[in-house]
Amino acid sequence: MAQLDAARGIELALRHLERGEAVQALRVLDKVSWVDLGWPDYWRVRAEAFLLLGEARRAAKCAEEGLQEAPDNLELLALYVRALLHAQDYHKAQEVLNHALQLFPPSLELRQLAEQCEIARTTPKARTSPAAPHKDQGLERPPFSEAEARAIRRAFQTPAHKPKKRLRFWPWALLWLLGLGGYWFWVRNLG
């Protein structure tokens, strides 16, 4: 199949995630060019899809991969903590939360996750799944809020990281102009 560039692939995967189609989102992400895998958004969307499928360990692994590329990415840090809470790795979640709160002290989302982590660590009932919705109540938790979805869409309408245009003709043009100037001085001094 044809390779997708990262921006298009992530945008398409986000649309699938908004509709709750996590498997389809992962299929789209698998088509993203291997050259573009350094994008933290790729790993964030992949982790969101795994979290939506209930595969918390794989979600945590994807978030961790993204944090290797962008260690101070707030969305990835929060997602990593959520995945660790779902995987019931409370000690690691607390370590990541402490680090994240040092980087982003005013973050409301991180403070809410810290409360969830504290509740999960101290309450035996919460050890089943601290951030998961209650299935008997019929609640479904979207992978991200509507405001986050709008922000993500807006971010991909005008890319934050525009690839650098490599203008390879400039060195040649400069060399040509220097040669032309040199020739002009040479002809002018001959006569």
Angle at 122 between CA 65 and CA 64, to 5 degrees: 0
User: How large is the average pLDDT for residues 74-95?
Assistant: 91
Q: Is the pLDDT of residue 138 over 50?
A: no
Nearest CA among 178, 76, 84 for reference residue 131: 84
**More confident of the two residues 82 and 28:** 82
Please report the pLDDT score of residue 139 as a whole number. 40
Please report the pLDDT score of residue 131 as a whole number. 46
Yes or no: say if 35 and 4 are a contact pair by the CB < 8 Å rule. Answer: no
Considering the chain, what is the average pLDDT of its residues? Answer: 77
Residue ranges in 70-130 assigned as alpha helix (H): 74-86, 90-103, 108-122
Decide: residue 132, CB within 10 A, 0-12 exposed, 13-18 middle, 19+ buried.
middle
**More confident of the two residues 171 and 45:** 45
- Give just the sign of the alpha carbon dihedral 122, 128, 132, 136: negative
Please report the pLDDT score of residue 4 as a whole number. 61
**6-62 pLDDT per residue, tens:** 677 778 888 888 888 888 888 887 777 555 556 778 788 888 888 888 889 999 998
Going along the chain from its start, the domains and CATH numbers come out as 6-190 (1.25.40.10)
